[in-house]
């Protein structure tokens, strides 16, 4: 079995694959100061490491990458860390490919495999990432924007009379309470951002590229968007599986 780990700045998602089937998955908060021993205890509480024979890691937190490497060594697991020098099966047309986050690359790999080229991945995480696969099947770059949760945190830090609200779509765009007004701004504000950026990307590509949403808040935004066509919550894990298979 393959253990895939997508370590983001806010959350970490683990996936356990039997062949090409995602058998189980877990989502936990990312704690940047966890040690290899703590990670070992955490993962052992979620799944049986003895049943795992391979480990593929994407990490945007450098300190945790080192701890996961120590964890893999302790558990005697062959580890593949997605990064420069790893074969991904997709050409990267970026001025400096080393600048591209591994999660963005594996998203593009999985989207191309599952939905074909051209395509656009919108990943709702700490940041909202737009990643573009050209009609030729190449990764050609994208857009980075502040994520929904970061925007909410910034708003509440600066506005003393506002308060946190649940991430839910309000019944109407025009809010009748402070809560629904905030929810409307968050949901429909990001819907507008996504639709405008996707429209401009399609204009530059010159084709109607398929748009796939992924990430923790994708299912909140997608129903209200005119451009998000598919929701694939485990796209990043699938990309990790594909990259691992191409390097085995």
Alpha helices by DSSP H, listed for the chain, are 36-46, 62-74, 102-115, 148-158, 178-205, 218-221, 235-246
Residue with token string 């989502």 = 27
How far is the C-alpha of 16 from the C-alpha of 18, rounded, in Å?
A: 7
Q: How many helices (H) and strands (E) does the chain have?
A: 7, 10
Structure tokens at 234: 């485990």
* CA gap 245, 248 in Å, rounded: 5
Instruction: Name the active-site residue from 103, 123, 131, 232.
Output: 103
DSSP 207: S
196 class by beta-carbon count within 10 Å (0-12 exposed, 13-18 middle, 19+ buried): exposed
Q: What's 137's DSSP letter?
A: S
What Cα–Cα distance (Å) separates residue 61 from each residue in 64, 229, 244? 6, 30, 20
Active site residue 6: no
- Cβ atoms within 10 Å, residue 137: 15
State the alpha helices, DSSP H only, in 5-101: 36-46, 62-74
- The residues assigned a catalytic role are 103
């Amino acid at each position: 079995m393959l253990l895939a780990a997508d370590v983001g700045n806010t959350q970490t998602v683990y996936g356990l694959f039997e062949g090409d089937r995602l058998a189980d998955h877990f989502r936990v908060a990312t704690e940047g100061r966890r040690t290899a021993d703590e990670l070992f205890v955490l993962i052992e509480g979620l799944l049986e490491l003895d049943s795992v024979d391979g480990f593929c890691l994407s990490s945007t937190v450098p300190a945790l990458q080192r701890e996961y490497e120590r964890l893999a060594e302790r558990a005697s697991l062959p580890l593949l860390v997605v990064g420069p020098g790893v074969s991904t099966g997709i050409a990267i047309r970026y001025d400096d490919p080393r600048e591209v986050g591994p999660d963005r690359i594996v998203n593009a790999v999985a989207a191309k495999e599952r939905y074909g080229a051209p395509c656009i991945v919108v990943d709702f995480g700490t940041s909202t990432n737009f990643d573009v696969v050209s009609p030729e099947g190449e990764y050609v770059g994208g857009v980075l924007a502040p994520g929904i949760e970061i925007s909410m945190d910034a708003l509440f830090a600066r506005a003393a009379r506002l308060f946190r609200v649940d991430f839910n779509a309000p019944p109407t765009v025009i809010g009748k309470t402070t809560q629904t007004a905030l929810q409307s701004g968050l949901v429909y504000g990001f819907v507008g951002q996504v639709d405008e950026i996707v429209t401009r990307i399609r204009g530059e590509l010159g084709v109607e590229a398929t748009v796939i949403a992924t990430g923790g808040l994708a299912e909140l935004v997608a129903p209200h968007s005119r451009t998000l066509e598919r929701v694939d919550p485990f796209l990043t894990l699938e990309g990790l599986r594909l990259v691992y298979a191409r390097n085995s």
